[in-house]
Amino acid sequence: MPTENSHIKILASAPAARIIARELNRRRFLGFAAAAGGAAFLAACSSPESTLSNGLESQLSMYSWGDYDAPEVLTAFTKDLGPKLTVDSFGSNEEMISKLVGTKGTSGYDIVVPTGPYIPQMVENNLLMKLDHRQIPNLKYMDPAFLGRDWDPTNAYSICKAWGTTGFVYDKTVITRDLFTWNDFFDAAMNEASGSVSILDDPGEITGMFYWANGIDWNTTKKEDIDAAEDFLVNKLAPHVAAFNSYPGSDAVPQDLQALIQIWNGDARLGISESDDPDKWVWRLGAPTTELWMDNWSIAEGAPHPKAAHAFINYVLEPANSLAELDYIGYHTGAIDIEQKAKDEGLEMLDMVFFTPDQIATMKDAEVNEAQERTVDIWNKMKAAAGA
């Protein structure tokens, strides 16, 4: 929400305003999700429906992760094609899905951005509309490597918006040895970085670290695996944890809040680029294995503005827009040859955006399964243990 940003600038210095704006967008779900959702819903319902001369509806409403699109692309879309865009944010797939389930096709949202593994069940529950590929000719700019994933083999319901992975950054003035793997991460966390450790505020990523470190299937439902994860995370790791933070790139890295930080690649890039002393931060992709998550453009079932929604997806797939999105969010958009274009544009720290095929081979897909409840439980227990 670009207006928010400029509004805050009046009150705070520019770097602080950027931090506050990002934090606001990302933390909104903490307290204001309900109110924000209601507003979009009302906006979608109450405005008179009219059609623009180019055949698109005059409105478009998007429900996505906070601060997840380049503001200039969003404004340019309205300028170029007409539909007025409302953006609303959620903090988890579950939150987004439950809102769609709860409103039964009347949420008023057009575009939604689910993460891959959630798509099959969403389709099964009639939450997503089939995409009309004829209205998305720019699909041709997408790299086939990031299309046809297991959860949606024909891209009938989704097209990659961005994908990323998990690793960590550390402050080499505090941790003077080299860290490479998740086990190194744990070791440093329980030693020189104790009390200065931040981990992602997301149950799957936390238990994931343990499974990735120990060669256990991330999607395990075996009780002994989950028990082992709980024992280690709650009893061993938690007491050393200072913060549970899903977006440390917007505050912890630039403000040096912790020395050892579990972080998504794009967020790491953002954080290091905003740090006063970027050279002291070392980025490591999680090893021996880590995750590959992919967020996708989809259209909600019952979307009131399907034409505008297709036009929007087509618009962001345009190579120039795709590059602008990549630059803003710091994640690979899945477009063909975008790595070369990014280099040509002179974008920096691209090792945190693009990965070699060998690296990609170590990245695992998540599944949504019955272990979820235990995973959330472990997360809460860790917080209790860390807060005590």
Partner 1 sequence: MSRLRLPRPILAFPAIGWLLIFFVAPVLLVLWFSFGYKPGVFQTHANDKLSFDRYAEALNPTFFTTFWNTLWVGVAGTLLCLIIAFPVAYWMAAKIPSRYRGLLIALVMVPYWTNFLVRTIGWQIILAPHGWLSAALNWLGLIDGSLDILYTRSAVLLGVVYNYLPLMILPLYVAFDRVSQDMREASKDLGAGRIATLLRVTIPLAMPGIIVGTLLVYIPLMGDYITATVLGGAKGNMAGVLVASQFQTAQNWALGSAMAVLLILLILVSAALAGLIIWLLLLPFNRSRRLVIGVAK
Chain residues binding partner 1 by CB under 8 A are 8, 11-12, 16, 19-20, 23-24, 27-33, 91-92, 94-95, 97-98, 101-102, 121, 125, 198, 202-203, 238, 241-245, 251, 255-257, 368, 370, 372-373, 376-377, 379-381, 383-388
Q: Distance between CA 306 and CA 57 in Å, rounded?
A: 8
Q: Distance between CA 164 and CA 355 in Å, rounded?
A: 10
- Closer to partner 1 by CB, 12 or 360: give it: 12
- Closer to partner 1 by CB, 29 or 141: give it: 29
Instruction: Please answer whether residues 227 and 234 qualify as being in contact, where contact means their C-beta atoms are separated by less than 8 angstroms.
Output: no
| Token pair in block for residue 131 | 């995409």
Compute the least distance from the CB of residue 274 to partner 1, in Å. Answer: 13
- Closer to partner 1 by CB, 85 or 101: give it: 101
Helices 372-387 & 203-213, crossing angle to 10 degrees?
90
- Closer to partner 1 by CB, 41 or 146: give it: 41
Handedness of CA 270, 326, 133, 51 (dihedral sign): positive
Count how many Cα atoms sit within 13 Å of the Cα of residue 85 in the half-sphere of its side chain.
27
Compute the least distance from the CB of residue 189 to partner 1, in Å. Answer: 12
Compute the least distance from the CB of residue 197 to partner 1, in Å. Answer: 9
- Closer to partner 1 by CB, 30 or 176: give it: 30
Compute the least distance from the CB of residue 282 to partner 1, in Å. Answer: 18
- Closer to partner 1 by CB, 23 or 187: give it: 23
Geometric angle at alpha carbon 371, from 155 and 248, rounded to 5°: 75
Compute the least distance from the CB of residue 388 to partner 1, in Å. Answer: 6
- Closer to partner 1 by CB, 203 or 302: give it: 203
Compute the least distance from the CB of residue 19 to partner 1, in Å. Answer: 6
Compute the least distance from the CB of residue 256 to partner 1, in Å. Answer: 5
Compute the least distance from the CB of residue 291 to partner 1, in Å. Answer: 17
- Closer to partner 1 by CB, 60 or 261: give it: 261
